Structure 1
Amino acid sequence: MSMLNAVLRGLLALAFAAAAHAQSDTARQQAMEAAIKAADAVTVAGPSEVKLAAQAVLKLPAGMLYIPQPAAGQLMQAMGNSVDSSLLGLVRGAGDAHWLVVARWEAAGYIKDDDAKDWNVDDLFKSLKEGTEEANKRRKEMGFPALEIVGWVQKPSYDSAAHRLVWSMAARSEGRDADDQSVNYNTYALGREGYVTLNLITARASVEQDKPAAHALLGALQFNDGKRYDDFNSKTDKVAEYGLAALVAGVAAKKLGLIAVILAFFAKFAKVLVLVGAGAIAVVAKLFKRRDTA
């Protein structure tokens, strides 16, 4: 009799757990739908000029859509990402584009770029990998899978004349197939008081197709008069506590968590949205497309 009771208790526990999981997934789906509805209401279509934190202007190209705050933050939170004051907005492509660009302003101060000529990309990779492994502890505490760094998609390159940094890393969530990789394609524009990041998130197989959008956005960003990198005044201005290499190996390691939570979002929603085989950005893109078409 006690054995039967134990089995029944176990079955009941599984039933309650399944019901709770279904309710949780339903709540997440509702949160995503609400976030997309809020984003639709404030989306700015290119060509247009978007002001960024009283620091710069983004001349949004035709065919791209900008989602400002606070709707951008609501959408990020619906995908499981934490949001802070650095988030400026999100850029997505109209139509069938399955990529997302996260725009942030980091008031770090003036970034010295003299270490760019001496950096070793192998050392940067090692540091980035170690930093990600340390950040995985926090991700697991939050219930998200660990993130595995796969390798460079584009090794760090710096344009000292334009003060632009570009680098890209492929990663995947723990337990996912080897081919199921996501990419952070990172572009940075340095200014007098900090820097703007335009972080393209896409699938590994689509990065060559999608990265021109990131470069188009980077080229369309111009700092305001007095806010440019060359306007720096060594007597009065704040200098950042880290150099250019840290934007790849140090600060960036923490922000790679963005990949992990978006991949985790897909893992949780794949069955609910019946979109197995697509990436998380494709999930969001298709939800947006339904409204674009309507």
Structure 2
Amino acid sequence: MNARIAARLLGLLLLTLAVTLQAQETAPAATAEAQDPTAAGRTADAVNAAFAAAGTALLRGPQTLLLRDQGLLKLPEGYGFVPLAEARRLMEALGNSVNEQFIGLIVPVGQGDANWMMRLDFDPAGYIKDDDAREWNADDMLESLRKGTAAGNARRQALGYPGLEVSQWIEPPTWDAAHQRLVWSLEAREIGAAPGSEGTVNYNTYVLGREGFFEMNLVTSSAEINRYKPDARTLLAAVSFNEGKRYADFRPDTDKVATYGLAALVGGVAAKKLGLLAVIGVFLAKFAKIILFAVLGLGALIGKFFGRGKKA
């Protein structure tokens, strides 16, 4: 079985598993569609077409990319960027809703068996004050996120998906005030997972500006996160705001100030997204990234999915 055929089969499998915030709001309709014997074929065709479009549109580094009217991504060699239209099409074909904040996807190029993908967004929240960064307590923040995740489990389980629990910090929140960069990372696991089983990691990085922030979320497994932290840091450093849009350009007399502080990017705001991030981790990280890399020719991950140590 070649990688492209295997990818298509995985795409069909993914579409029976993936859930999104949008699907959570329309669960009965989604269930009805799943019972339609022709639905899988229609969606599989959409996935194949979306992958083909993403592969054609892929922009390879090194090159500089405009990020709306806000900033630049100096994409290094070894990375590729799937632009908005094709990335949106791909995410939606895989069952992941996106909103107007979504900019595109970043993937490894020519990095062998690299096993991650990164979503890039811009949130026009306004200027976010960083006063609370001097006082936050990582243990308290972790407990808050655990409670938020537990509260969301009833809904996930009602939809037929396993409950989740936040197990630990992979990296506690760190704020680089000189460059206005925030980094934090959590590990999440299915409730009742066997001891030592792989958890899912969303490695979250942010760059703050005058009118909002860029958010870059790298998704991988807990076993591999240390390997890919340098990739996340490299890409974080590759994003910058334009002159006039920088954090230091803030004008307190005229500019919009966000209704929350920096800690909310780890706590309150993040908690609202945790359901989606966990779903991306449990399903997209295990399936979609494998499909994405195989179809775009970006990594030998099909064999890794079917069995470690085997070649595709």
**Deviating more after overlay: 197-206 vs 173-182:** 173-182
d(CA) in 2 for partners of 1:143, 1:74:
26
User: What are the residue-to-residue correspondences of 1:168-179 with 2, within 5 Å?
Assistant: 168-174=185-191, 177-178=194-195, 179=197
1:166 is matched with: 183
User: What are the residue-to-residue correspondences of 1:54-133 with 2, within 5 Å?
Assistant: 54-95=69-110, 96-133=113-150
1:144/1:264 contact within 8 Å kept? no
2:256 is matched with: 238
Q: Which runs of 5+ in 1 are unaligned?
A: 1-16, 268-277
* Letter matched to residue 66 of structure 1: F
Shift in CA distance, 238/263, structure 1 to aligned 2, threshold 3 Å: closer
d(CA) in 2 for partners of 1:20, 1:191:
46
d(CA) in 1 for partners of 2:165, 2:45:
30
1:205 aligns to 2:218 (yes or no):
no
Shift in CA distance, 236/143, structure 1 to aligned 2, threshold 3 Å: farther
| Offset, 1:77 | 1.9
**Deviating more after overlay: 178-187 vs 51-60:** 178-187
| Offset, 1:223 | 0.4
Across the two proteins, how many residue pairs are aligned to each other?
265
2:153/2:163 contact within 8 Å kept? yes
| Offset, 1:62 | 0.4
1:255 aligns to 2:263 (yes or no):
no
* Letter matched to residue 250 of structure 2: F
2:5 is matched with: none
Shift in CA distance, 111/34, structure 1 to aligned 2, threshold 3 Å: same
d(CA) in 2 for partners of 1:261, 1:23:
25
**Deviating more after overlay: 169-178 vs 236-245:** 169-178
Secondary structure at the aligned position of 2:96 is classed as coil
d(CA) in 2 for partners of 1:73, 1:137:
29
* Letter matched to residue 289 of structure 2: I
d(CA) in 2 for partners of 1:124, 1:102:
24
| Offset, 1:20 | 4.4
Secondary structure at the aligned position of 2:52 is classed as helix
Shift in CA distance, 25/150, structure 1 to aligned 2, threshold 3 Å: farther
Q: Which runs of 5+ in 2 are unaligned?
A: 1-31, 301-312
* Letter matched to residue 90 of structure 1: L
d(CA) in 1 for partners of 2:284, 2:224:
17
| Offset, 1:261 | 2.6
| Offset, 1:289 | 2.1
Q: Deviations over 1:29-81 (max 9, x none)?
A: 43332221121121111001111121010000001000111211122223322
Secondary structure at the aligned position of 2:204 is classed as strand
Shift in CA distance, 22/172, structure 1 to aligned 2, threshold 3 Å: farther
d(CA) in 1 for partners of 2:177, 2:43:
44
1:198/1:218 contact within 8 Å kept? yes
1:227 aligns to 2:248 (yes or no):
no
**Deviating more after overlay: 234-243 vs 88-97:** 88-97
2:6 is matched with: none
TM-score when normalising by structure 1: 0.81
1:151 aligned to 142, 162, 168, which one?
Answer: 168
**Deviating more after overlay: 283-292 vs 196-205:** 283-292
2:181/2:208 contact within 8 Å kept? yes
Shift in CA distance, 290/43, structure 1 to aligned 2, threshold 3 Å: closer
d(CA) in 2 for partners of 1:53, 1:147:
35
Computed over aligned residues only, the root mean square deviation of the Cα atoms, in angstroms, reads 2.6
1:91/1:102 contact within 8 Å kept? yes
1:196 is matched with: 214
Percent identical: 46
2:202/2:281 contact within 8 Å kept? no
1:181 aligns to 2:189 (yes or no):
no
d(CA) in 2 for partners of 1:30, 1:169:
35
Larger radius of gyration: 1
Q: Deviations over 1:218-246 (max 9, x none)?
A: 11111001000000000000100000000
d(CA) in 2 for partners of 1:183, 1:68:
24
1:284 is matched with: 292
Shift in CA distance, 38/138, structure 1 to aligned 2, threshold 3 Å: farther
